[in-house]
Structure 1
Amino acid sequence: MLSAAQMEIIKQTVPVLEDHGEVLTRHFYQRMFRENPEVLAFFNPAHQHAGTQQRALAAAICAYARNIENPAMLAGAVELIAQKHVSLGIQAEHYPIVGENLLASIREVLGEAATDEIIDAWAAAYGALADLFIQREGEIYRHQTEVHGWQGFKRFVVRQREAASDNIVSLYLVPEDGQPLQPHQPGQYVTLRVTPENGVPVMRNYSLSNRPGSEHYRISVKRELACDAGAPDGVCSNYLHDRIAQGDVVELAPPCGEFVLTPVAEAGKPLVLIAGGVGITPILSMLYAALEQQPDREVIFIQCALNGAVRPFERELATLRGEYPNLTVHVRFSEATDEDRIRALHDSEGLLDSALLDQLIGDQDAEFYLCGPAPMLKHGWRLLKQRAVEDADIHFEFFGPAGDLAA
């Protein structure tokens, strides 16, 4: 239990965290990976290289310090992180490792400024936060066992493999033991674990792109190539594209995630689903669920892609468009090719903009779900705020460490 004096000390450290948070978190990760290499498997090296993991942790620490007297304000962030932790199999015994390295980094980075009182206060604050996560994660683990019948990793067979676009491959996965799958919540992801040729297991989260209640899980994976000369190619995505074939076995943890389609909040309010690139995967699962569960609701599906070559699920969406009169599908390419125009593969060109939202939605109030690259999410969020859409009607998911759309 944090004392009033300790809470005051934590609040006083906020300016220091705002100025030096990323230095601290970089030091923390380097120290933890050096001192406790057993935790390396829980982290994506591409996120470490890009700095997104360090920035996300720095922002989370600052937010916790600002709200130390009322941690309930962080309920959404806690749920997101707890779901991610469970997806990777993080257990209560991992928290002391993090705590020890975090406190050591605070002392080593701040030097003499890190007094015993500050270290004691942050030790108490970390302990309270760890207890909160351990309790919530225990609840999620129990829920997985009750609903899906397992926790941890289970062997799945690749029943089918198909190209969703030039850079995305879909894998259809069924349990090796033949047990039926329970429906996932539309928008959830699973964690896949494979062991490439170097013998080091890797874990990655992939959204489920299939209709909830299918007899299989489907993940649709984009081949991730290095963005710059010093960055690594995606280890797992390239392995899945190049080496995993029909009949192979992979391991999956049960569905997780808080970015899920919620029941209709208000009768008659249209549902608008906006997908950018491979961000379509959770959005497509939501689309299937909405069309089946809410047949009288207007559904507007906006798919943003570079061009037809990398636009996934073309035939699937065309089929749904023909089957459901309450569904409007609009495809927008930002870098359309001459072939796209000849084949009429898209409805418009350019980036997502206010004119398109006005055309499709008009002045109706609507509920929005967005998923895609961070720049697209930030752009979309700003467009929606310009339309005076309430925060409660804007749902989104980052692929990778969470960021701030308002930044």
Structure 2
Amino acid sequence: MTNKQKELITATVPILRAGGETLTNYFYARMLKAHPELKNTFNMGNQANGRQKSALANAVLAYAENIENPGVLIGALKGISTKHRSLNIQPEQYKIVGNHLIASIAEVVGEAATPEILEAWTVAYYQLADIMINIEKEMYAENAAKPGSWNGWRKFVIKKIVSESDEVKSFYLYPEDGGAIANFLAGQYVSVQVFVPELQLLQPRQYSLSSGFNPEYYRISVKRETGIVPNPNGMVSQTLHTKSEGDTVMLSAPAGIFHMHKEAKSPLVLISGGVGFTPMLSMLETNKANIENSKTVWVHGCRSHSLHAFREQLTTLKEELHWLETYTFYDTIHAHENHGDNVLPGRVDLHKCKDAILLNDANYYICGPELFIKAQYQSLLNLNINKDNIFYEEFGPQIINLN
């Protein structure tokens, strides 16, 4: 890329930043009309709520704003590429995206979109695409080399379904071929692909693995969300909740950059909201199986006692494990309910349990909705926790960037 092309990119960023939503609306409308088969790859729920569009706009504009030194974005690009590997994204799909993205930029910039500007953006996009394709090539190779692993989709049988609360079911997934399955790091996820009759589409979703590694099966724990046509939010979880033991689903191999450090001996502070408990369960079970048994404090927020999934199992674990301490916040508490120790009313407030969570050299893991993550992250900073010790995972496309 020439210096002149970099100048053209930089000059048009403010126009595209101002019209970011328009840009992505044009882009997705064009691309999905020309390639309707990609609706089976994209999360149509995130298309409907705009999160996927925001994530794309942020990624493209961040690259443009750092065109002089794109290396600073490698960490973020690896996060996106990890998700792409789990969805089996292939190099040829980048060309489809590029064609429609450049055409959409031309529409947003309008008459100012000279051939020189469009050529500069084309060069920039394919530089970005090459970076990501190479990152993903390495990821596919590394994944294929793992014992029991696979690239693409593999059929799994639901051999057991357990209701964990009024909203959450756990699914025990065994490989239909009877072969080995890949190990994973506590906190990682699998992509699940199911056919959604209401949409007449295959739809992928990522679900955190909710147990420590078992060589026979994977466990995911899914909250039934609401969603109606034409809004596809929640339709995959609803489809899963209609499944019976013996049904099958398609899985990609475990992935994800949010996970407990493999050799970590530091204390763990787990902070979850709602169904954000799932990767924390995996961390807890993995820690239990670890000879080190790091001191662990788990702070969880839930709407009510009846909706607190795995509540009884956690109570049993607390009685068994001397190194585990829990704090639970319920939005609603009824007088007749017997909650035990360290149950507090209202939303999660880390200052109310700060004496328990301020541990030397602790690592802090946050999982939940966007606003929950932002609030807890800021609370930890206010408590003078080093941001290098804070890790978080956001539901859906990666939009927030706190570190």
Shift of 1:44: 1.8
Aligned to 1:287: 284
2:396 corresponds to 1:400: yes
Which secondary structure state, in structure 2, belongs to the residue aligned with residue 254 of structure 1? coil
Q: Tell me if structure 2 keeps the 8 A contact 1:278–1:372.
A: yes
Instruction: Name the structure 1 match of 2:310.
Output: 313
The equivalences for 1:194-343 within 5 A come to 194-197=194-197, 199-226=200-227, 231-242=231-242, 244-263=243-262, 269-293=266-290, 295-339=292-336, 341-343=337-339
Distance, in Å, in 2 between the alignment partners of 1:351 and 1:125 is 44
Conserved in 2, the CA contact under 8 Å of 1:336 and 1:349? yes
- Partner Cα separation in structure 2 for residue 5 and residue 292 of structure 1: 58
Q: 1:362 to 1:186 in 2, by over 3 A?
A: closer
Number of aligned positions between the proteins: 401
**Aligned with 1:13: secondary structure?**
helix
Identity, % of aligned pairs?
39
- Say whether the 8 Å CA contact 2:46–2:52 is kept in structure 1: yes
What CA deviation, in whole Å up to 9, does each residue of 1:296-327 have, x standing for no partner?
52211111111112111112222322222111
The runs of 5 or more residues in structure 1 that have no matched partner are none
Any idea what SS the aligned residue of 1:93 has?
helix
1:191-225 Cα distance to aligned partner (Å, 9 max, x none): 11122335422211111111124421001111111
Distance 2:350 2:159 in 1: 42
Deviations 1:339-376 (A, max 9, x none): 4x345486111222242241322474531100011111
Partner of 1:388: 384
Residue number in structure 2 paired with 1:45: 44
Quote how far apart the aligned CAs of 1:115 are: 1.5
Hey, what's the Cα distance between the residues in 2 that align with 1:197 and 1:18?
37
- Given that 1:365 and 1:389 are in contact with CA atoms closer than 8 Å, whether structure 2 keeps it comes out as no
Counterpart for residue 4 of structure 1: 3
SS of residue matched to 1:155: strand
Instruction: Report the Cα distance in structure 2 between the residues aligned to 1:353 and 1:271, rounded to whole angstroms.
Output: 18
- For residues 371-390 of structure 1, give each alpha carbon's deviation from its aligned partner in whole angstroms, at most 9, with x where no partner exists: 01111111111111212322
Q: Within the alignment, does 1:351 sit opposite 2:350 as a pair? A: no
Letter in 1 for 2:164: A
Letter in 1 for 2:223: K
Deviation digits for residues 240-289 of structure 1 (CA, Å, limit 9, x no counterpart) = 112x1111111111111111111466x6x421111111111112112222
Secondary structure of 2:253's aligned partner: strand
C-alpha distance in 1 between matches for 2:229 and 2:343: 36
Gap change, CA 1:134 and 1:39, over 3 Å in 2: same
CA distance in structure 2 between the aligned counterparts of 1:337 and 1:214, rounded to whole angstroms: 41
Amino acid at match of 2:163: A
Describe how 1:59-70 pairs up with structure 2 within 5 A: 59-70=58-69
Cα distance in 2, alignment partners of residues 362 and 271 from structure 1: 10
Q: Mind listing any 5+ residue stretches in structure 2 that lack a counterpart?
A: none
Matches of 1:406 and 1:296, distance apart in 2: 29
Q: TM-score normalised to the size of structure 1?
A: 0.92
Contact 1:332/1:351, CA 8 A, preserved across alignment? yes
Q: What is the distance in 2 between the residues matched to 1:104 and 1:253?
A: 32
Question: Relative to 1, partners in 2 of residues 1:331 and 1:343: Cα closer, same or farther, differing over 3 Å?
Answer: closer
